[in-house]
């Protein structure tokens, strides 16, 4: 079973942009309540979509370059990348079913 992977600014290009699999990027922070609330859902999604979708987490406090580059102003922000390009952006903690509908539209 797959789990969300913590990545850094230095890993962003290799793990997200150059990924052959679509990637859901969770921009989050330790102090963010809604980020903690959505974490179990992202764990489930990582398992449900194992092999079809990669789920990564970027701590905005430790990785400001990626957060700035993608204009992250509120967290949690979930960005969906496919073939190296952002194809969808979800702001806030949505229920699992709504997240899956957005993801399924791009797989």
Q: Which residue, among 90, 98, 104, has the nearest Cα to 22 in the 3D structure?
A: 104
One of 35, 58, 79, 90 is an active-site residue; which one? 35
Could you tell me the CA-to-CA distances from 41 to 22, 36, 66, 68, 107 in Å, in that order?
18, 10, 23, 25, 19
DSSP for 29-70 reads -TT-HHHHHHHHHHHHHHHHTTTT-EEEEEETTT-HHHHHHT
Q: Is 35 noted as a catalytic residue in this protein?
A: yes
One of 7, 32, 53, 99 is an active-site residue; which one? 32
Catalytic residues: 32, 35
């Amino acid at each position: 079973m797959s789990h969300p992977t913590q990545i850094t600014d230095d890993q962003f290009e290799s793990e997200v942009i150059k990924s052959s699999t679509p990637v859901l990027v969770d921009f989050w922070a330790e102090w963010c309540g809604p980020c903690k609330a959505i974490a179990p859902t992202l764990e489930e999604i990582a398992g449900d979509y194992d092999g079809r979708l990669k789920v990564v987490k970027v701590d905005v406090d430790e990785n400001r370059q990626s957060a700035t580059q993608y204009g992250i102003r509120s967290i949690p922000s979930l960005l969906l990348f496919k073939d190296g390009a952002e194809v969808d952006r979800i702001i806030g903690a949505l229920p699992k079913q709504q997240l899956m509908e957005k993801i399924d539209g791009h797989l």
